[in-house]
């Protein structure tokens, strides 16, 4: 009976510590010091309306926007995943070729122009919000034309793309990248 009472007391103490106090402390610290990140890194648009999270890719169908990389899950966060198709998959090869062709046509590129791999293949989660600076640069003329930009506005768009390039973390982890949602939000603000 004594062992059962000790076990029950330990259960109550651990429940209080790990089930109540620890979550409250972590939530308090997160909200106090990292509120934007703790709340999902949500970006606000006009009238403080949430337009999306800078951590998740979104589908941009309009030609006036820079396109995100493809998504195997159609940008759905509930069923996010990769396609699980291997390099010998005929279906993957066909899809990749179709995406290359579509990217070239939409961006008025030569038929032998190299297409960045992230515009051809989906990421492992299907929700990667970044593209390479090269992929953004290749889409610049399409976006400028679709928005009816004059020469001065086109130069401002080019500068905006270059300012949107984020360096590798701490100068060594990862590669240079562009967050598509942040870039499109900044492009809308150029008007």
| Per-residue model confidence (pLDDT) at position 160 | 94
* Same domain? 68 vs 31: no
* Same domain? 88 vs 144: yes
* Same domain? 28 vs 121: no
Parent domain of 84 = 57-190
Q: Is residue 109 part of a domain?
A: yes
| Per-residue model confidence (pLDDT) at position 124 | 78
* Same domain? 113 vs 159: yes
pLDDT digits (tens, 9 = 90+) for 96-120: 899 999 999 999 999 899 999 999 9
* Same domain? 84 vs 118: yes
* Same domain? 13 vs 94: no
How distant, in Å, are the alpha carbons of 63, 106, 140, 187 from that of 146? Answer: 6, 11, 10, 12
* Same domain? 12 vs 81: no
* Same domain? 63 vs 126: yes
Q: Is residue 43 part of a domain?
A: no
The β-bridge relationship of strands 165-166 and 177-179 is: antiparallel
Phi-psi region of 71 (alpha: psi -120 to 50; beta: other; left: phi over 0): beta
* Same domain? 18 vs 82: no
Q: Is residue 52 part of a domain?
A: no
* Structural domain total, the chain: 2
pLDDT digits (tens, 9 = 90+) for 31-85: 999 888 888 788 787 778 887 888 888 888 899 999 999 887 777 777 666 677 7
* Same domain? 81 vs 148: yes
Per-residue pLDDT averaged across 3-21, rounded?
95
* Same domain? 78 vs 110: yes
């Amino acid at each position: 009976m004594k062992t059962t009472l000790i076990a029950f007391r330990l259960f109550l103490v651990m429940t209080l510590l790990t089930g109540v106090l620890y979550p409250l402390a972590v939530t308090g610290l997160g909200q106090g010091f990292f509120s934007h990140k703790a709340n999902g890194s949500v970006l606000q648009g006009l009238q403080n309306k949430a337009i999306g999270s800078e951590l998740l890719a979104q589908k941009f169908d309009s030609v006036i926007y820079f396109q995100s990389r493809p998504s195997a899950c159609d940008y759905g966060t509930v069923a996010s995943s990769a396609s699980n198709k291997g390099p010998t998959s005929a279906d993957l090869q066909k899809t990749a070729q179709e995406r290359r062709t579509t990217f070239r046509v939409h961006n008025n590129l030569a038929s032998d122009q190299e297409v960045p791999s992230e515009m051809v293949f989906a990421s492992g989660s299907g929700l990667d919000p970044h593209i390479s600076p090269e992929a953004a640069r290749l889409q610049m003329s399409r976006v400028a034309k679709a928005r009816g930009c004059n020469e001065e506005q086109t130069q401002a768009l080019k500068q905006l793309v270059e300012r949107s390039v984020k360096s590798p973390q701490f100068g060594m982890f990862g590669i240079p990248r562009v967050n598509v949602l942040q870039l499109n939000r900044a492009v809308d603000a150029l008007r």
